[in-house]
Structure 1
Amino acid sequence: MKTLLMLAASATLLAAPALAYDRYAERPPVMVSPDLSAPWVLQLGRDPAEVAPRRQAREPKLRQVPPKVQQRAVQRRQANPAQPQLAALRAPEKRTVQPQMNPIYLPQQVAYDGGEKPGTIIIDTIENFLYLVEEGGQARRYGVGTGKPGFEWSGTHKVTAKREWPDWRPPAEMIARERAKGRVLPAKMEGGPDNPLGARALYLGSTLYRIHGTNQPWTIGGAVSSGCIRMRNEDVIELYERVPVGTKVIVR
């Protein structure tokens, strides 16, 4: 028995140094099974978006207003009818868009080869143009509104008077004619931006016809008047400054 114990102790003493030096020895490489390593190697060559796709943003859920809350809101609006509603405050303001005048009727310098002297006014009621004859075979051309069907006329007159922001006194025939259409005209309207005669008026001979401005510039270029020659306010002001009383006016 003693002999066996001594042999075991000797074996333990001999193996101890060997175990102490094992930790400094080179260890064998770790081997991984292909079944485990293949999926990881494949992932290294893929697009990251395929491996971990981005989550789609969730649509926000609308908050449902309980029926009792809706009912209380209706009751508050009914109790305060004078309180402006939010929808009314946000409603866009409606604006009246006036039609535009054709640019062809804007003032232009044109050639003139007629026989009238410089300073003469010629009105073409077919094309709706007014020409102020100038020196050197030139004329200043303006767009005008002329008499509507049944109110056309032609002739030669002179400018007998000039007025700035003239009053308007509709003739009795016009008052009666408009009354039959359901429109009541005043016996007199003071001069101003709302006056149908506009900013200036040039009176023709002893007639009731005038070359005058208008508060409806989009009508220039049409047959729209009761016989008068209608111009834009800025155009009639220019003409007013350029022609004196006594100027010859030819209406064709």
Structure 2
Amino acid sequence: MKTAQINRRALVGGMLGAAGAAAVPALAQEGSTEFQAPVSSSVRNNISSFRMLQWQDYFETTRNGVILVDITSRALHFWSEDQSIYRLYPSSVPLSEELTRRGRTEIVRKAVNPPWRPTPSMLERNPDWPKFVEGGVKDNPLGVRGMYLSWPAYLIHGTHDTRKIGRRSSNGCIGLYNEHVVELYDLAKVGTQVLLL
């Protein structure tokens, strides 16, 4: 059987589109880009290195919806409260373990075109950074939407710098393509459960 060249961006884009949620089960068919992990593990990986996780392994319920951020595979998973909606988004993750926070939190506030204020530790590491950037401008590192977590200074947000997605590139936050953060912003609500692992 001849192996076709697979374009990762096209594959991920196809999975993330409106029809993408319905297409995910097709990955388990013959000729799939997914492989089954050893029987002792319930985690499956696809060709893009995203681990295909199940909410039941990490949450008791999907009350208010759930977001699972997989730092290792640099992906954000979302399930709606009634589990009728599932989304998988590539993400940026913190630059280092020192900047990485793991554990349970929740969305406590949402903002369209959030303004950005670097933390004192960010300014210490990067003294040439501005102390404030208005929301809605191209050089704002929070992009077009921000979802604030219960941990101070931690957000799930968009980014205008698309090179950051899929990389260790943030100062602690989880970044998404702007078009993906707009979709997630509309799906998630204040009170959505979040787990970073």
Alignment TM-score, normalising by the size of structure 1: 0.54
- Number of equivalent positions: 148
Which residue of 2 is the match for residue 221 of structure 1? Answer: 166
Alpha-carbon distance between aligned partners in 1 of 2:117 and 2:83, rounded to the nearest angstrom = 40
Report which of the two has the higher share of helix: 1
Say if 2:180 is the partner of 1:235.
Answer: yes
Alpha-carbon distance between aligned partners in 2 of 1:215 and 1:127, rounded to the nearest angstrom = 21
Say if 2:117 is the partner of 1:172.
Answer: no
Alpha-carbon distance between aligned partners in 2 of 1:121 and 1:208, rounded to the nearest angstrom = 18
Structure 2 residue matching 1:213: 3-state secondary structure = strand
How much does 1:186 deviate? 1.1
Alpha-carbon distance between aligned partners in 2 of 1:243 and 1:222, rounded to the nearest angstrom = 24
How much does 1:114 deviate? 3.4
Which residue of 2 is the match for residue 159 of structure 1? Answer: 107
Contact in 2 for aligned 1:105/1:129 (Cα 8 Å) = no
Aligned amino acid, residue 131 of structure 2: A
Which residue of 2 is the match for residue 122 of structure 1? Answer: 68
The one-character-per-residue Cα deviations of 1:63-111 (angstroms, maximum 9, x if unpaired) are xxxxxxxxxxxxxxxxxxxxxxxxxxxxxxxxxxxxxx95155424246
Contact in 2 for aligned 1:105/1:221 (Cα 8 Å) = no
Q: How does 1:184-223 map to 2 (within 5 A)?
A: 184-191=128-135, 192-223=137-168
Structure 1 residue matching 2:123: 3-state secondary structure = helix
Q: Unmatched 5+ residue regions in structure 1?
A: 1-100
Structure 2 residue matching 1:162: 3-state secondary structure = strand
Alpha-carbon distance between aligned partners in 2 of 1:206 and 1:228, rounded to the nearest angstrom = 11
The one-character-per-residue Cα deviations of 1:114-168 (angstroms, maximum 9, x if unpaired) are 3133420000000011001145586210010001123222011010100100100
Share of identical aligned residues, percent?
Answer: 32
Structure 2 residue matching 1:244: 3-state secondary structure = coil
Alpha-carbon distance between aligned partners in 2 of 1:217 and 1:121, rounded to the nearest angstrom = 21
Q: CA RMSD in A?
A: 2.1
Contact in 2 for aligned 1:105/1:220 (Cα 8 Å) = no
Change (3 A) 1:186 1:156: same
How much does 1:187 deviate? 1.1
Which structure ranks higher in relative contact order (CA pairs < 8 Å, sequence separation ≥ 6)?
2
Q: Unmatched 5+ residue regions in structure 2?
A: 1-6, 26-52
